[in-house]
């Protein structure tokens, strides 16, 4: 699982470098085109990459694992719409959107009843995500900070809506 996360990060970095010749911002409200960094909350740690497609429209990829159960991993893809909510301060941006996720979980950690009945194993869960957040991009350094709420629903596996993946803080290097 660690290899998959490392490979995803490497591919994301190469994709960012391929677009390095474009102008900073690309017309996005956030004044950057692509950002790569870390996303955390008390239970999760992972990687995030956000890329503006055109104007206020962005896509974000999140890969994370549990802090105490490192055998589990979730991969999320999101579409986000960004807007400036303080017109005089372009560095403050709010966003909202949605997407989907796929997670790979150790049965012992996440479905104890099924573990007792069926034994060890891994299961896959698929679901939908929403996201709403605020971010700040520094003017003089290539750093972006964000805080968001990300409710989700699983179609398979555990049927959580407000679980440990509900929110997060991200720090990203902007390109």
CATH of the domain at 157: 2.40.160.20
Alpha-carbon torsion, ordered 121, 127, 133, 138, to 10 deg: 60
Q: From CA 124, how far away is CA 113, in angstroms rounded?
A: 16
Q: What is the pTM of this model?
A: 0.79
Q: From CA 103, how far away is CA 51, in angstroms rounded?
A: 22
Quick one: pLDDT at residue 110? 61
Quick one: pLDDT at residue 4? 46
Quick one: pLDDT at residue 26? 54
Quick one: pLDDT at residue 122? 77
The tokens of 75 are what? 């991969």
46 is in which domain, residue-wise? 2-174
Quick one: pLDDT at residue 128? 93
Quick one: pLDDT at residue 72? 84
Q: From CA 131, how far away is CA 95, in angstroms rounded?
A: 8
Quick one: pLDDT at residue 162? 57
- Give the residues of the chain that fall short of pLDDT 50: 1-2, 4-25
The tokens of 165 are what? 């993946």
The number of folded domains in the chain is 1
Quick one: pLDDT at residue 107? 67
């Amino acid at each position: 699982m660690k290899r998959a996360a490392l490979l995803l990060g490497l591919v994301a970095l190469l994709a960012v470098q391929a677009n390095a010749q474009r102008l900073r911002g690309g017309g996005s409200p956030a004044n950057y085109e692509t950002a790569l960094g870390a996303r955390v909350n008390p239970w999760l740690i992972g990687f995030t990459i956000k890329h503006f497609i055109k104007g206020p429209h962005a896509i974000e990829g999140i890969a994370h694992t549990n802090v105490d159960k490192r055998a589990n991993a979730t991969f999320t893809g999101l579409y986000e719409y960004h807007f400036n909510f303080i017109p005089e301060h372009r560095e403050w941006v709010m966003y909202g959107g949605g997407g989907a996720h796929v997670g790979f979980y150790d049965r012992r950690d996440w479905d104890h009843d099924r573990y007792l009945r069926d034994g060890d194993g891994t299961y896959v869960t698929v679901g939908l995500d929403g996201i709403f957040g605020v971010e700040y991009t520094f003017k003089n350094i290539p750093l972006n900070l964000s805080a968001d709420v990300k409710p989700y629903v699983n179609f398979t596996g555990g049927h959580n809506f407000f679980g440990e993946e509900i929110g997060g803080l991200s720090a990203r290097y902007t390109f």
